[in-house]
Amino acid sequence: MTVTPGGSDREALMLACPACGSQQRHEPGTKSLACTACGARTAILERTGATLVEQPYDDWVHGNTGRQVASLGGVVMRCEGCHATTEMAELASVCQFCRGHLVQVTSPDGVVPPSGVLPFLLDRRQATDAFTAWVTSHRLGIDELTTINAAESFTSTYLPVWSFSATATTTYEGRRGDRKPVRLPDDRVEMHTEWQDAAGTVTTRIDSQVVEGRKVSVVQDRLVRNLSLEGTVPFQPEYLAGHTATRYDRDPASAFEEVRRAAEKKRIPKDVRDHIGGDRTEVRSALTGYSDVRFALILAPLWVLTYIAAGKTWQVLVDGRTGEVAGEFPVDGGKLARLLLTWLGKLALVVVGLAAVVYFFNR
């Protein structure tokens, strides 16, 4: 564990309200902490400078000497409320004795600290509204869905995601075909493809591509895909107060691998084909190298709801900024059967109608 010079207690963030001593938490949609007891507010100091600083990936690889995050320990933190000490790998959690907020201010050696955070914009009530709208739109869901007390069950957590930027340089060989009219001996004109060898170098810029740093839910994929980094602010631990935040469990090397695979599957082949041009294009070989690779760890806000229905556990996530919902729900067998019967009924009418028409014309 790392100890911040000059203070023995600075592993955790001090969150006591200056007015009454109760715990403060980040208030969604604001840049302030609010006291849970007296409502007093404290502004979160803003760090100056660029909104998102990606660090050079090569520097990190050399400095980290192959250590994997799974092998790195937690940070010992002392609860401000009951003074119990807890070792935890999470960036933010709650004290198991008094439910006080615990927020790390330092990261252990070898763990990439967050560079940026997308603070919560939606509070619990707004997340509940998004959930209610989602439930209402799924008319096949069982009736109990509408009775779930989402407001009480929602928890707020930050999902760690990686952002990668790089320049990909691809050297290729192939050929381009151009359709040209050719006059035949009998004076007819036919289109022929004229092939020409092509070779060259093309660069593809990858800008702040997002990949997940951890799987906190089986239903998170779409939200991660749609995640916008717009609104990212330089990381301040205060934004985690009152929420939970887990450490990433996917190392930067594995995340960069995914970024490369995605680029080499779609964007780079397209750039190469566009570079070759022609009416027809063939790529024989392509070799891609990466330079100026930079990355950052960013925390993205999620409201998480786990509920039990039809004897199973289901999960729903609400994006803490956009209100986009991703989740699972139990389908009502009766409603589904009625819907299918309605469809089958319509289909049967169409079939009978068509049969009548065919019979009529074949008479």
Minimum Å gap between C-beta 84 and Zn ion is 5
Minimum Å gap between C-beta 113 and Zn ion is 24
Q: Tell me: does residue 22 bind Zn ion (CB under 5 A).
A: yes
Q: Tell me: does residue 35 bind Zn ion (CB under 5 A).
A: yes
Q: Are 177 and 228 in contact (CB under 8 A)?
A: no
227-266 b/e with 16+ CB inside 10 Å = b?
Answer: bebeebbbbbbbbbbbbbbbbbebbbeebbeebbeebeee
Q: Which stretch binds Zn ion (CB under 5 A): 30-38, 85-93, 235-243, 277-285?
A: 30-38
Name the residue nearer to Zn ion (CB basis): 19 or 233.
Answer: 19
Q: Print the binding letters for residues 67-106 with Zn ion: x by CB under 5 A, - otherwise.
A: ------------x-xx-x----------x-xx-x------
Minimum Å gap between C-beta 242 and Zn ion is 13
Q: Are 229 and 52 in contact (CB under 8 A)?
A: yes
**Residue at token pair 């615990």:** 102
**What whole-number distance in Å separates Cα of residue 183 and Cα of residue 260?**
47
Q: Which of 1, 16, 19, 219 binds Zn ion (CB under 5 A)?
A: 19
The CB density around residue 161, as the number of other CB atoms within 10 Å, is 25
Number of residues that bind Zn ion (CB under 5 A): 16
Name the residue nearer to Zn ion (CB basis): 34 or 112.
Answer: 34
Q: Where are the beta strands (DSSP E) in the chain?
A: 24-26, 32-35, 41-43, 55-56, 75-78, 85-88, 92-94, 101-103, 116-117, 155-183, 189-212, 233-234, 244-245, 280-309, 312-319, 325-327
Minimum Å gap between C-beta 240 and Zn ion is 16
DSSP-derived pairing of the beta strands 312-319 and 325-327: antiparallel
Name the residue nearer to Zn ion (CB basis): 100 or 278.
Answer: 100
Name the residue nearer to Zn ion (CB basis): 16 or 224.
Answer: 16
Name the residue nearer to Zn ion (CB basis): 34 or 69.
Answer: 34
Q: Tell me: does residue 331 bind Zn ion (CB under 5 A).
A: no
Q: Which stretch binds Zn ion (CB under 5 A): 37-45, 192-200, 333-341, 351-359?
A: 37-45
Q: Are 79 and 12 in contact (CB under 8 A)?
A: yes
Q: Tell me: does residue 40 bind Zn ion (CB under 5 A).
A: yes
**What whole-number distance in Å separates Cα of residue 345 and Cα of residue 353?**
12
Give the footprint of Zn ion on this chain (CB under 5 A): 17, 19-20, 22, 35, 37-38, 40, 79, 81-82, 84, 95, 97-98, 100
